[in-house]
Amino acid sequence: MSNYLWLVIAAGALGVLYGLIQTASLMKASTGNDKMREIAAAIQEGASAYLRRQYTTIAMVGVVILVAAYFLIGEWAAIGFVIGAVLSGLAGFAGMLISVRANVRTAQAASESLGKGLDLAFRSGAITGMFVAGGALLGVAGYYAILTAGMGFESTSREVIDGLVALGFGASLISIFARLGGGIFTKGADVGGDMVGKVEAGIPEDDPRNAATIADNVGDNVGDCAGMAADLFETYAVTTVATMVLAAIFFRDQPYVDTMMLLPLAICGICVVTSIIGSFFVRLGKSQNIMGALYQGLIVTGVLSVGAVWWIITTLVTGPVTTNTGLVIEPMSLFYSGLVGLAVTAAIVVITEYYTGSNFRPVRSVANASVSGHGTNVIQGLAVSLESTALPALTIIVGIVASYQLAGLFGIAIATTTMLGVAGMIVALDAFGPVTDNAGGIAEMAGLPSEVRHSTDALDAVGNTTKAVTKGYAIGSAGLGALVLFAAYTSDLDYFAANPDLYPFFAGMAEIDFGLTNPYVVVGLLFGGLLPFLFGGMSMMAVGRAAESVVAEVRRQFRENPGIMTYEVKPEYGRAVDILTKAAIKEMIVPSLLPVLSPIILFVAVLSISDKATAFAALGAMLMGVIVTGLFVAISMTSGGGAWDNAKKVIEEGFTDKNGVVHGKGSEAHKAAVTGDTVGDPYKDTSGPAVNPMIKITNIVALLLLAVLASGKVF
C-alpha cells in the first residue's frame, strides 16, 4: 500500500480530528441565560427526534437496496453501500448535533459583539465542513485501502470499482432523502409559520407566540445543516469515486494506474489541510464586513491550494502519462486542470454573491419591485432566478473546454475533483448560515435586545448568499463532472462489450450510437430532462402540503387559546414539530424514488421495443438530459430563492426606492417581499438543492445497472 494512501487517510482523519477538537472548544462557550437554554433545548430535542425518525425510515429503504445489492452484484458492493450510507448519515447527524449547540452560543456571542458572533458561528460551520470532507475522504480512501491492500484485489478489478460506486450510491441515496425530508420539514415550518404569523397575525418572524417557531428553528438544523452536510458528503464521495473509476479505465494495465487512481484522493487530502488553515483566517476586520471576513479565509485556502495541488501532482506524477486512448498528458497539464477547478469555484462564488448579495442589482431590483406589490415582486424574483443561470453555465462551459483542452476527459475529472477538494471550506461558509438564523430566532424568542437580532440578521443575510454559493457549487460540480460520470458509464459499457466471455449479457451487442442523430438519444435527453422538472414540482407540492398542515395547526392554537396572543399561554410548540415530522417523512419517499427507478424504467422500456445497444444509448442520453435541465433548474431555484430572501432583509433594514420613499418592516413593500421570500423558501432549500443528489443518483443507478447486468446474476 502506497505511503501516500496512508497520508490521504491521515488527512481525512485530520479533518475529523479538527472537528472534534473544535467541538470541544465550542462547547465551552457560554450558552447565555436560562430562557435561551430552554429554547435551545426544545430545538435540540425536536431536531434529534426528527432525524432519528428520518434515518429510521431511510434505513428501511436502505435495507431493501442493501439486500438487492448483495444478491445482484456482490458482497463488496453491499459493504460499500453500507459504508457510504452510514457515513453520509453520520455527516448529516454530526452537522445537526453541532448546529443545535452552536446556535444558542452564537446568540450569546452576538450579544457581546458582531465579531464574536461571526467567529463562533463560522467555527461551528468549519466543524461540519471538516467532518464532511474528512469523513468522505476517510470513507472512500479507507474502503479503497481495505479492498486493495487489505483484501488484495487489483485496483482496477470489478470488486474495487463496484464497491466504490456502491459506496457513492449509498451516500447519494441517504443524501436525497435527507435533503428532501429536511427540506420539506424546514420549509413547511418556515412557510407555514410565516403565512400565519407575519402575514395573518402581524407578529414578527420568530415571535414566541407563533407555535411554529420552534419547528422553524428545528428545520434550519435538520434541513440546512443535516441535509446540506449529507448532500455535500455525497457530492464529494461520488466525484472522487468517479474520477478513480475513470483513472482505472484510462490507465488500466499501465504501470502508473495505481498512482493515477490515488491522485484524486491525494488532491482532496491536501485540500483538507489547506481548508483547515484557511478557516483560521476568517476574522472580522475593522470595516465589520462579514462577507470580506469569509472571503479572507476562502482566498487563503484557494491560494494555498494552488501551491499544494501543484506539489502533490508534480510529486506523484513524475512524467507524462498516456491514456489507453493514446492521449499523452503532462503533469503540468493536470495541474492546470486543477487550477481550472479552483477558478470555477471562485467564479461561482463571485457570481452567486452578485445574484444573491444585498448590495447588487438583482436583489435591489427585487426589493424595488416589491414596492409595486406582491405580483411584481414575484415576477422580478422569477426573472432574476432565470437570468442567474446564464453566467454559472458559461463558467462551467469554459471550465469543460479549458480542462478538456489541457488533459482530455481526465483533465475534466481532475478539475472537478480539485473543485470539490476545497469542499470543507465551502461547507464551513454555508453551515454558519443556519446557525446564525437559529441564533436570531433564539434572540427573538428570549427577548434579547434588538441589537443582538440586528447582528444575527446581518450574519444571516450573508448566510443566505453563502448558502446559495454552496448549492451553486454542488450543482456546478455536477455540471462540470457530467462528462466524467458519463465517461464512466460509456467506458464501463465498452469494457463489458469488449469482454463478452466474462459478461455474456453484452455478447453480440451492436455498436452503441450516442450521436444526436439517433432518435433514442433525443428520447433519452427529453426523458432525463423532464426529471428535474417533475421532481421540482413534486417537492414543491410536498412543501405546500406540509406548510398547509402547519398553517392549520397554528391557526387552531391561536383560535383555541386566545391567551397565546397576550403572552399568557405558551403555544404547544411540540405539536407543530410532530405534525411536520410526520408530513416530511411521508412526503420525501416518492420524489426520492423517482431518480432511482427512472433509469431502470427507461432502460427496460426501450429494450422492450428495440435492442440492447439502443437501450444503452437512451439510458446514457438520459444521464446527460437530467444534467442539462437539472443544472438550470437547480441554479435558478437556489439563486432566485437567495435573492428573494435578501430582498426582504434589505427592506427590513429600510429600503429607499427610486422615488426616495423609505419602506421598512410592516410596510406594504415588506409584505410583498415576505411573499417572495415565502416562494423562494422551498425553491432554495427544498427543491433546488435536492436536484444535485437527484442527478447523481440517476447516474449511479445507471452504473450499478451495468454492474448488475455484468454480474450475470440476473438475465
Q: Check residue 345 for interaction with a second copy (CB under 8 A).
A: no
Q: Tell me which residue of 344, 94, 331 sits closest to 222, measured CA to CA.
A: 94
Q: Where are the beta strands (DSSP E) in 305-404?
A: 321-322, 328-329
C-alpha cell at 99: 448546529
Q: Tell me which residue of 671, 615, 630, 546 sits closest to 185, measured CA to CA.
A: 546
Q: Check residue 404 for interaction with a second copy (CB under 8 A).
A: yes
Q: Check residue 487 for interaction with a second copy (CB under 8 A).
A: yes
Q: Check residue 261 for interaction with a second copy (CB under 8 A).
A: no
Q: Helix, strand or coil for residue 662?
A: strand
Binds a second copy by CB under 8 A, chosen from 64, 390, 590, 662 = 390
Q: Is the CB of 263 or the CB of 400 nearer to a second copy?
A: 400
What is the nearest approach in angstroms of a second copy to the Cβ of residue 464?
A: 17
What is the nearest approach in angstroms of a second copy to the Cβ of residue 213?
A: 17
Q: Distance (Å, rounded) from C-alpha 429 to C-alpha 56?
A: 29
Span near a second copy by CB under 8 A; candidates 326-334, 399-407, 450-458, 705-713: 399-407
What's the burial of 516, exposed, middle or buried (CB within 10 Å: 0-12/13-18/19+)?
Answer: exposed
Span near a second copy by CB under 8 A; candidates 118-126, 343-351, 387-395, 470-478: 387-395
Q: Check residue 522 for interaction with a second copy (CB under 8 A).
A: yes
Q: Check residue 657 for interaction with a second copy (CB under 8 A).
A: no
Q: Backbone phi, then psi, for 88, in 5-degree steps?
A: -60, -40
What is the nearest approach in angstroms of a second copy to the Cβ of residue 82?
A: 33
Q: Check residue 295 for interaction with a second copy (CB under 8 A).
A: no
The interface with a second copy within residues 176-205 (CB under 8 A) comprises 191-192, 194-195, 199-200
Q: Is the CB of 155 or the CB of 636 nearer to a second copy?
A: 636
Contacts of 127 (CB under 8 A, 6+ apart): 18, 19, 22, 23, 26, 98
Q: Check residue 565 for interaction with a second copy (CB under 8 A).
A: no
Binds a second copy by CB under 8 A, chosen from 259, 389, 465, 592 = 389
Q: Check residue 384 for interaction with a second copy (CB under 8 A).
A: yes
Q: Check residue 493 for interaction with a second copy (CB under 8 A).
A: no
Report the DSSP beta bridge partners of residue 321.
329
Contacts of 571 (CB under 8 A, 6+ apart): 208, 209, 210, 211, 554, 557, 561, 564
Span near a second copy by CB under 8 A; candidates 139-147, 176-184, 273-281, 379-387: 379-387
The interaxial angle of helices 361-372 and 612-652, nearest 10 deg, is 70
C-alpha cell at 534: 417533475
Binds a second copy by CB under 8 A, chosen from 523, 564, 700, 706 = 523
What would the DSSP string read from start to end of 171-208?
A: HHHHHHHHHHHHHHHHHHHHHHHHIIIIIII-PPTT-T
Span near a second copy by CB under 8 A; candidates 87-95, 326-334, 381-389, 582-590: 381-389
Q: Are 55 and 585 in contact (CB under 8 A)?
A: no
Contacts of 54 (CB under 8 A, 6+ apart): 177, 178, 181, 182, 222, 584, 585, 588
Give the length of the chain.
Answer: 715
Binds a second copy by CB under 8 A, chosen from 31, 296, 372, 561 = 372
Q: Helix, strand or coil for residue 714?
A: coil
Q: Is the CB of 269 or the CB of 481 nearer to a second copy?
A: 481
Q: Are 694 and 595 in contact (CB under 8 A)?
A: yes
Q: Distance (Å, rounded) from C-alpha 107 to C-alpha 123?
A: 14
Binds a second copy by CB under 8 A, chosen from 132, 267, 343, 551 = 551
Per-residue H/E/C for 674-697: HHHHHHHHHHHHHHHHHHHHHHHH
Q: What is the largest CA-CA distance in the chain?
A: 79
Q: Check residue 540 for interaction with a second copy (CB under 8 A).
A: yes
Q: Check residue 400 for interaction with a second copy (CB under 8 A).
A: yes
Q: Is the CB of 96 or the CB of 623 nearer to a second copy?
A: 623
Binds a second copy by CB under 8 A, chosen from 396, 443, 485, 613 = 396
Q: Check residue 334 for interaction with a second copy (CB under 8 A).
A: no
Q: Is the CB of 296 or the CB of 365 nearer to a second copy?
A: 365
Q: Distance (Å, rounded) from C-alpha 386 to C-alpha 388?
A: 6
Binds a second copy by CB under 8 A, chosen from 41, 67, 303, 397 = 397
Q: Is the CB of 72 or the CB of 400 nearer to a second copy?
A: 400
Q: How many CB atoms lie within 10 A of CB 327?
A: 15
Q: Is the CB of 67 or the CB of 601 nearer to a second copy?
A: 601
**Residue 519 identity:** P
Binds a second copy by CB under 8 A, chosen from 548, 561, 589, 593 = 548
Q: Is the CB of 276 or the CB of 482 nearer to a second copy?
A: 482
Q: Check residue 393 for interaction with a second copy (CB under 8 A).
A: yes
CA dihedral 229, 387, 629, 248 (to 10 degrees): -60
Q: Helix, strand or coil for residue 1?
A: coil
Q: Check residue 409 for interaction with a second copy (CB under 8 A).
A: yes
Span near a second copy by CB under 8 A; candidates 141-149, 249-257, 508-516, 577-585: 508-516
Binds a second copy by CB under 8 A, chosen from 330, 387, 572, 578 = 387
The interface with a second copy within residues 667-706 (CB under 8 A) comprises 674-675, 677-679, 682-683
The interface with a second copy within residues 582-641 (CB under 8 A) comprises 609, 620-621, 624-625, 628-629, 631-632, 636
Q: Check residue 281 for interaction with a second copy (CB under 8 A).
A: no
Q: Backbone phi, then psi, for 150, in 5-degree steps?
A: -75, -60
User: Angle CA(280)–CA(286)–CA(290) in degrees, nearest 5?
Assistant: 60
Q: Check residue 370 for interaction with a second copy (CB under 8 A).
A: no
Q: Binding-site residue total for a second copy (CB under 8 A)?
A: 85
Query: Cell match 444585498: residue?
Result: 358
Q: Check residue 324 for interaction with a second copy (CB under 8 A).
A: no
Binds a second copy by CB under 8 A, chosen from 515, 559, 567, 660 = 515
Q: Is the CB of 78 or the CB of 691 nearer to a second copy?
A: 691
The interface with a second copy within residues 453-482 (CB under 8 A) comprises 479, 482
Q: Distance (Å, rounded) from C-alpha 54 to C-alpha 178?
A: 8
